[in-house]
Structure 1
Amino acid sequence: MDSEPAPGSTPYDTARAHGRAARRTAALDTASELLERHGPGALTMRRIATELGCSTTVLYTIFGGKSGIAEQLWLEGFDRLDRAVRSVHEPDPLARLTGMGQAYRANALSNRAYYAVMFQRAIPGFEPSAQAYAASLRPLHALAGAVEECIGAGVFAPADPMHIARVLWAASHGAVSLEIVGYEGAIDAEERYECLMRAAAAWFMAGGGG
């Protein structure tokens, strides 16, 4: 395999000073940018290494191969989503749930290539391992926890928190997916999204809705 490139100002050189986790993130961001700009055909070890400014040996050491990069893109995407929704700390349970919905949208718009790997089968043939799929459910469980608090506070009528979380996730995902692909344009997208979130939540409100 090719040798380590000479020191310079490449993304890899910048990340190398901050340890293995930083090198992994830099490689995944490089791969995601290639995917977004050029499609899945650009996701070769050599192309990623060239863009990153490292040897292919480095990539094989970190990821094991192209399939490893695909799985790590999936995991990184869900890790970012999980961190985003868990970063909402509103004391009011409904406000926290609303904030989590807003965090979902903001994260998707900021990480479009990761979102495509997570939900749009952007890498043909990729299937996450059982372990990776289990890890991908963490954001959903965080959402269900917020729903459970809404039920406990009397905001939502008693129901299965996971069922409500899945409905809210589906509504959010549908709106965000349409926005990302440009359907009907981005004008008033945020307002439409917030209207949808309020309508979906209202269905489960105590004393009304469904």
Structure 2
Amino acid sequence: MPDRDVRPVRVRLLEAAARLLADEGPRALTTRRLASEVGASTMVVYHHFGGMPELVRAVIVEGFARLAEHMAAVPRTADPVADLGRLALAYRANARANPHLYAVMFGGVPLDGQAPPAEEPVAGRAASGAGTFGVETFAAETFGVLVEAAARAMDAGRLRRDDPEHVSAQLWSAVHGFVMLELAGQFTGGAETVLTSMLVNLGVGLGDAPDAAARSLRAALDTPAP
């Protein structure tokens, strides 16, 4: 007999909703279907989320919350370029661990009529029953970790001076593109080589010395992803 899922019902609802959206599309996400997926009543769905738009918003918030946890677990070291590499690896690890949430949070799933409501004012903003902030807050916090590491790499003379936010956007775009292709099964082999080469080339393109970039990435790879 399989082990009983003892996680909070709210977490199981969020993961089931993400799976339905990613695998079957928004038409599959009904209150009755979702309740059936977790073995609960339809009233449980309304109790936790109020309605489908709020549920979809909570799915996106949960996805960013898990990404934020992965990236926050990356240690800050004396090598900021290695830290950037570790952040990229943590980003990938989160996506591989939570592929359905990842697909929903970054718009990989057309939501049609299930679009989440507009962002609430920052004051008092919270996700339903989660005690966490909204989508934009988590996205900004996650991006902020990357910006801080990029700024430290510039201060250390490893990357040429530029707007840290612009540099971070370039790094995020490259890693996100790799992850999306990997999750879609586009790499039949050699994904690790593609990723490591891409990260070294990015570092060199942003001003780092080739040997230094390669050393920092090796150091990043020697640290298990959170």
Q: TM-score range by the shorter chain?
A: 0.7 to 0.9
CA RMSD of aligned residues (A): 2.1
Structure 1 residue corresponding to 2:196, chosen from 171, 194, 197: 194
CA contact (8 A) 2:88 2:175 kept: yes
Paired amino acid for 2:207: M
Percentage of pairs with the same residue? 34
Structure 2 partner of 1:124: 112
1:57-88 superposed Cα distances (whole Å, 9 cap, x missing partner): 11101111111111011111111111111111
Change in 2 beyond 3 A, CA 1:128/1:118? farther
Consecutive unaligned residues of structure 1, counting only runs of 5 or more, are: 1-8, 16-21
Aligned pairs (5 A) from 1:7-46: 11=5, 14-15=6-7, 22-46=8-32
Structure 2 partner of 1:54: 40
Q: Distance in 1 between matches of 2:105 and 2:112?
A: 12
Equivalenced residue count is: 191
Q: Distance in 1 between matches of 2:100 and 2:190?
A: 23
1:101-153 superposed Cα distances (whole Å, 9 cap, x missing partner): 01111111221111111223412242563354422222111100111111122
TM-score with structure 1 setting the length:
0.82
Q: Distance in 2 between matches of 1:36 and 1:104?
A: 19
TM-score with structure 2 setting the length:
0.77
Q: Distance in 1 between matches of 2:76 and 2:193?
A: 21
Q: Distance in 1 between matches of 2:208 and 2:117?
A: 38
Q: Distance in 1 between matches of 2:190 and 2:65?
A: 28
Structure 1 residue corresponding to 2:62, chosen from 55, 76, 101: 76
Q: Which has the higher contact order (CA 8 A, sep 6+)?
A: 2
CA contact (8 A) 1:85 1:100 kept: yes
Paired amino acid for 1:144: V
CA contact (8 A) 1:32 1:113 kept: yes
Please state if 1:93 is matched with 2:102.
no
CA apart distance, 1:23: 2.8
Q: Distance in 2 between matches of 1:158 and 1:41?
A: 48
Q: Distance in 1 between matches of 2:173 and 2:40?
A: 40
CA contact (8 A) 2:19 2:101 kept: no
- Partner of 1:193, secondary structure, is helix
Structure 1 partner of 2:217: none
CA contact (8 A) 1:74 1:128 kept: no
CA apart distance, 1:43: 1.1
Q: Distance in 2 between matches of 1:49 and 1:146?
A: 42
CA contact (8 A) 1:77 1:118 kept: yes
Q: Distance in 2 between matches of 1:164 and 1:157?
A: 10
Change in 2 beyond 3 A, CA 1:10/1:31? farther
CA contact (8 A) 2:85 2:199 kept: yes
Q: Distance in 2 between matches of 1:202 and 1:30?
A: 42
CA contact (8 A) 2:35 2:42 kept: yes
